[in-house]
């Protein structure tokens, strides 16, 4: 297990994907008996960072983040639901949102039947960004007030929209 600096909280303890389950079980034996949450971060294009937050309540509050890195093409890791039953819900959510396999059959949790894709992956295209105007401030020259003197800019594509989607719909990219 190695330590990785974290500017926003406690250091991450990093384990190889093969040691994930054993590391979580070992931390529970060491007194980290409070499971808080499990989720992932899309580290596109490299893969995924899988993170679990655990805490030890005695003799004083001590919490840590355990991390493993997963391959982008076939993200898979052993389930920890046998160590912390509450992890099952988090694994189902992470499976749906990122496409990470936990080696067990996971029922859909949040997405409607027949939904295709994993919405929290960075390459997942949000069709609503293409179908309707990007919210926020208007482009120069588009004000509701008299703006006949304002110069107009080239329209830019919304973030996360592939070039071929923009061209098909007649918006300059």
Q: Residues 55-81: pLDDT tens digits?
A: 999 999 999 999 999 999 999 999 999
Residue 162 or residue 103, greater confidence: 103
In a domain, 118, yes or no: no
Mean pLDDT, to the nearest integer, of 86-105? 95
Q: How many domains are contained in the chain? A: 2
Domain containing residue 29: 2-98
Give the whole-angstrom CA distance, residue 76 versus residue 138: 43
Question: pLDDT of 141-154, one tens digit each?
Answer: 565 554 455 455 55
In a domain, 108, yes or no: no
Do 94 and 36 belong to one domain?
yes
CB 42 within 8 A of CB 52: no
Give the strand order in the sheet containing 2-4: 2-4, 12-14, 62-71, 47-56, 34-42
Is residue 43 helix, strand or coil? coil
Mean pLDDT, to the nearest integer, of 96-119? 91
Do 139 and 69 belong to one domain?
no
Do 21 and 88 belong to one domain?
yes
Q: Indicate the pTM of the whole model.
A: 0.73
């Amino acid at each position: 297990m190695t330590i990785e600096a974290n500017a926003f909280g406690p250091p991450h303890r990093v384990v190889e994907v093969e040691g994930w389950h054993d590391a979580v079980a070992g931390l529970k034996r060491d007194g980290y008996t409070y499971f808080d949450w499990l989720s992932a971060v899309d580290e596109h294009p490299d893969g995924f960072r899988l993170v679990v937050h655990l805490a030890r309540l005695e003799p004083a509050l001590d919490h840590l983040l355990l991390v493993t890195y997963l391959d982008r093409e076939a993200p898979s890791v052993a389930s920890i639901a046998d160590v912390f039953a509450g992890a099952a819900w988090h694994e189902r959510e992470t499976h749906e949102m990122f496409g990470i396999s936990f080696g067990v059959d996971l029922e859909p949790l949040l997405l409607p039947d027949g939904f295709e894709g994993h919405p929290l992956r960075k390459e997942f295209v949000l069709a609503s960004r293409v179908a309707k105007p990007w919210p926020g401030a208007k482009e120069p020259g588009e004000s509701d007030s008299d703006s006949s003197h304002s110069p107009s800019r080239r329209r830019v594509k919304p973030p996360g929209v592939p070039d071929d989607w923009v061209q098909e719909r007649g918006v300059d990219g």
